[in-house]
Amino acid sequence: MSTRDEIRERGLCEAPSRGAPVLLRAIAASDAVNLRAFHARCSAETQYRRFFMHKPHLSDKEAEYFCNVDMRDRGAVVASDPDSLERIHGIGHWDSLTDDQAEIAFAVEDDVQGLGVGRHLLNAVLDRTRALGFRKLTGSMLAGNGPMRHLFETSGYAFSLGEIDCGVQSFSLAT
């Protein structure tokens, strides 16, 4: 079966971006190796923006944790290369905090930052979490992470910033 046939059969979403198109799909337990490779391709700055610390490698245990989700209380959407589902370009994930609130986080590979991949991931995560009944999404980002702040501010959703503590700022999005 060709990759395009698999996309159609699995009901995946191919999203055009200002660069190459990406395929949005739910993360799979089998993606642990792919997620580790994605993380390794990200720059030290991108890794720091995601984890708030120097993190040159994801351990097998960490990758398995991020990939083994139920798509309800914990879930993730990845942006993959349409011609190679294994090549992850970005990830957006959520963890439920309450019945109507979840924490979200995102990372996009440096080579495709600024090309709309983050926006596609944000929209996919917002669509999925809203369908699950989550009405408030929260998270933390580095106070100086202008691209992430811009993404949220221009998302079309009610976005608010919280306190800054040690350079990390909380935020919330109402869906």
Instruction: Give the percent of the chain with pLDDT over 70.
Output: 89
Strand, helix or coil at 93?
Answer: strand
Rounded to two decimals, the pTM is: 0.88
Please classify residue 48 by burial: count the beta carbons closer than 10 Å to its beta carbon, then call 0-12 exposed, 13-18 middle and 19+ buried. middle
For residue 172, count other CB atoms closer than 10 A to its CB.
18
**Span 96-144, pLDDT tens digits:** 999 999 999 999 999 999 989 999 999 999 999 999 999 999 999 999 9
Domain 3-174 has CATH 3.40.630.30: yes
- What residue spans define the domains of the chain? 3-174
> Which pLDDT value is given to residue 6?
45
pLDDT at 11 over 50: no
